Structures are given as structure tokens and as C-alpha cells.
């Protein structure tokens, strides 16, 4: 399984893990970095498990997927938990022709 096949699977897993991390750290304020670490490490583990079922190359696959996974986590959390600021940034980017 190559990284292009894994990417949609990992993105789906990441989107499902975010609420799990929110619940796991619900009693701990300012725990954003820990929540993100939980989601990233779980996604990395999934890549390793899926990679073990394929021809190998898990480290290379994670190297390729790491940045997109981080972007999805950051942008999803910004949208869910910082909606006003995120929407303003997106609108400004669109207005400036950046998106």
C-alpha cells in the first residue's frame, strides 16, 4: 500500500481521533499540544500497522504523511475550536487571493 492509498485512511482516522483526544483531556486546560501528540502518535501507529501488512517502508511512508496529518489536525482544530479566528483568516486569505 503506497502513501497515496494510505492518506485518505489516515485523514479519516485523524478526524475521528480529534474528539477522542478532546474527551480524554477534557479536565485538563491548555492541553492542546498533548491532544495533538495523542492524535499524531496514534496516526503514526496506524501507518506502522498498515505498513506491516504491505511491503514495508513504514518510516518512509510516515515521513511523507507527517506534514499532511499535522496540517489536517491543526486546521480541523482551528475550525472546530477557534472558529471565529479561523473563518476570519480564511476570508482574508481568499480576499488576498492566497487560497
Instruction: Give 54-81 pLDDT, tens digit per residue.
Output: 666 666 777 777 788 888 888 877 777 7
Residue 54 neighbours by CB under 8 Å, 6+ apart: 1
pTM value surpassing 0.85: no
Residue 18 neighbours by CB under 8 Å, 6+ apart: 35, 39, 73, 76, 77, 80
d(C-alpha 70, C-alpha 50), whole Å: 19
Amino acid at each position: 500500500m503506497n502513501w497515496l492509498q494510505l492518506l485518505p485512511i489516515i485523514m479519516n482516522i485523524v478526524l475521528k481521533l480529534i474528539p477522542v483526544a478532546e474527551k480524554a483531556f477534557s479536565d485538563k486546560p491548555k492541553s492542546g499540544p498533548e491532544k495533538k501528540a495523542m492524535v499524531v502518535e496514534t496516526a503514526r501507529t496506524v501507518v506502522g500497522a498498515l505498513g506491516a501488512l504491505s511491503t514495508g517502508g513504514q518510516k518512509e511512508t510516515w515521513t511523507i504523511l507527517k506534514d499532511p496529518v499535522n496540517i489536517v489536525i491543526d486546521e480541523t482544530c482551528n475550525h472546530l475550536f477557534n472558529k471565529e479566528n479561523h473563518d476570519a483568516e480564511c476570508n482574508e486569505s481568499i480576499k488576498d487571493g492566497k487560497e
